[in-house]
Amino acid sequence: MSEPQPFDNSGYEESSDQNVNLLDRNGNIVAAGYVVTGLEGEVCHHRIVKKNERKVRIECVYNDAAPIWDPPQGDDYYKLSSYIGGGWVVWHKKRLQFTN
């Protein structure tokens, strides 16, 4: 998987339950949700969440054909179509747009 391009998150500080937009490789918003923090945010689908990643609770998918960061996650999920009803996913921090 290619390294994501950084997104300018200046002006936003990470905090618990921080709302975010999930971005694809081109910087397009593909989903929205919030960052899961604390002990619950350290593991997702039996996988350790790395320092440069965040566990995100997806609440709304805008592009169900968008690929998942570092697949497979969950039950061999490779695309956001598996998260239309919501769910937890690991997403690279550089591909998160923190919102208010």
**Per-residue model confidence as pLDDT tens digits over 9-61:** 544 444 456 999 999 999 999 999 999 999 999 999 888 999 999 999 999 99
Domain boundaries, the chain: 18-98
Interatomic CA distance for residues 89 and 51, integer angstroms: 15
Q: What are the strands of the beta sheet with 19-23, ordered from one edge?
A: 87-92, 53-61, 29-36, 19-23, 96-98
**Cβ distance 18 to 35 under 8 Å?**
yes
Place of tokens 């805008």: 62
**How many of the other CB atoms lie within 10 Å of CB of 76?**
8
DSSP 7-60: ---TT----TT-EEEEE-TTS-EEEEEEEE-SGGGGEETTEEPPTTEEEEEEEE
Largest Cα–Cα distance of the chain, in whole Å?
36
CA angle 70, 71, 77 (to 5 degrees): 145
- pLDDT band for position 89 (50/70/90)? very high
**Per-residue model confidence as pLDDT tens digits over 22-35:** 999 999 999 999 99
